[in-house]
Amino acid sequence: MSSPLVTVLDYGFGNVRSAVRALEHVGARVVLTDDRVIAENSDGLVVPGVGAFEAVMQGLKQVRGDQIVGRRLAGGRPVLGICVGHQVMFERGVEHGVEAEGLDQWPGVVERLRSPVVPNMGWAPVEVPQGSALFAGIEDERFYFVHSYAAREFPLGTTEDTGRFAAPLVTWSEAGRQGESDRFVAAVENGALMATQFHPEKSGEAGLQLLRNWIATLG
| Neighbouring C-beta atoms of residue 98, cutoff 10 Å | 10
Active site residue ranges = 83, 199, 201
Task: Specify the pairing of strand 182-190 against strand 106-112.
Answer: unpaired
Burial of 87 (0-12, 13-18, 19+ CB in 10 A): buried
C-alpha 23/C-alpha 111 separation (Å) is 29
Contacts of 21 (CB under 8 A, 6+ apart): 201
Please report, in angstroms and rounded to a whole number, the separation of the first and last CA atoms in the chain.
Answer: 11
Residues facing 44 on adjacent strands:
6
Residues 44, 66 contacting (CB under 8 angstroms): no
Residues facing 5 on adjacent strands:
29
Q: Give buried/exposed letters for 149-167 (b at 16+ CB in 10 A, else e).
A: bbbbebeeeeeeeeeeeee
